[in-house]
Structure 1
Amino acid sequence: MRAFRWPPPPDGGPRTWGPGPGGPRSGRPALPEPETELVATPHGVRLERLVTGTGDPVTVFAHGLGNGIATTRPFGSGVAGRKVFFQFRGHGRSEAPDGLWSYLDLARDLRAIADLSGATRAFGVSLGAGALCRLLVESPERFERIVVFLPAALDQPRDPAARTRLIELLSAVESGDASAVAEVVAAELPPAVRNTPAGWAYLRQRLDHLLRDGLAPSLADLPGQVPLADAGGLAAVTAPALIIACEGDDLHPVEVAEELAAVLPRATLHRYPRPGVLWTDRADLRARIAEFLNQ
């Protein structure tokens, strides 16, 4: 396995060391980013939003920590109706109010976007999954169908490694050093994908967003918090739920997904046998999410 390196080759690479093909590799030009909007919310924080598709039902998608609209959109590729993507506070162009933030604040962000968009279905990944669960404890009947992908925590704090990873990312982004940011983001990629055209494309997209918009320092406190005081509060949720986990994902332990599936009355749990499912089983993941939400 060749080591990851930055910056990428100028002609779309990757470059290799030693004998082997070394000619230029061309790729498709990047598509222009869709135009987003800043939406005023009842709790006074303007949030960045993107709406795609037409008709009903309406599904809201909640992203993971340090991610955003761009990394969440692939989950909705086969979902019917309107799809609403947004950035939590402190991400992208969304505002970053002063003070400490909690999962209650994130749940308010999610609720506001869902209410303003008329969403009846919800998808949450990692941090977004925690915010979705917090919202459901407060309003168990808010959504008709829900998908939770890679839940990271319920009523127990995350592993310290999650906070360490985020602190490294925040420090790198604050420094403005593209190489430093790339080294942290590269850890999100399965080893087999690093230094491949697909891996470089992902890194470029993530760096473009992170270095352009930054991340709010207040996000650093979230990995040490818990979304719920008691996961048992989710027993009042009657909506069908699809819970998706990956074996071997240290930041999103499969045990958390199992606990969530056990407490939700109408939950179905699906486990993938290895992490990095967006790279190894992307088509199956998209089809699974779409099939569930389109019912």
Structure 2
Amino acid sequence: MKYLHKYVPVSQDGKPYPILCHGDQLSVERMVDAKLSMAFSEDETDQLKGLIPRPQGFHKRCIVLQDSMNSLFSGSTVGDKGSLFQIKNKFGFRTVKKKTSDCVNSCVDFFNFVTESSVCLIVCNLLNIDNIDEICQTIPTDHAAVQNLFMNICEQVINLVWPQIDKQSIQQAIRGDDSLVNQESTSDSEDPRFLDDTIDYWNDDYDSSLDETLPYYEENEDDDFEEELTETHQESHDSVFNYSRCMVWRGLLHMVQTLAERENDGHQIIADWRLDMVHFWNNNHNKYLILGHRLLAGNTKCNE
């Protein structure tokens, strides 16, 4: 950092300008430790002021992508139509491996392909299109009507794949009070289990990890899964349908986060980090949890 600090511009009054210094989790952790060790130096130059450690979104997305592959990509589902492994073999994605660090670009292209294809199938189903070469007769010609139809379709797709909210309240976990969990509530707004933003697709007694609740088929047919009611799958406990929903949701999430970084959308990037904090907690990524907390705390302080 002393070498990089030589290139930090200085204002007329001698104070260095804040410059972001990107890196992965380990690099940022070392930057923070280096700045703490030099914090009591008399010279501001030795204090390394001006260099602001910032985690790089690419490394964070690779962590989330690896978790998605761990949850959804399994060789045991090679014969199950619609699984990621079956799609990989069907369409010849030979370079895709479960270990994403060996083939990041191939995994990203594969997830984008699966997500875009799944969304196209959902839209064809919503518009009653049986052949991708035919044109839907119900599409209006007016530009405003087309925009309204497009927004309506997007909303239906999101509602279809939107994950179920975890039913254990973060507020109750902080207080250490689990007594309200077993109480029956008349509505979701009154139910304390709907107070947090933890993402999950199944209710499995609240103590199982996400990886244990995402098989392509149930290990025990007597398990009682709860899922959101949809127009086409009311009162259905279809694990294959839930698997497909989770696959599309994760694919859309990866695409949105990548787009936010390419467009340098700071507000959306911070929002993505807030969402991923729950993911880091659920998947025991404690170092990235601390890293994200520092980033969000610093961003909140700057916006005060």
TM-score interval (norm. to shorter): under 0.3
Output the TM-score relative to the length of structure 1: 0.22
Structure with a larger share of its residues in strand: 1
The structure with the largest helix share of the pair is: 2
Task: Kindly name which structure, 1 or 2, has the bigger radius of gyration based on alpha carbons.
Answer: 2
TM-score, structure 2 as length reference: 0.21
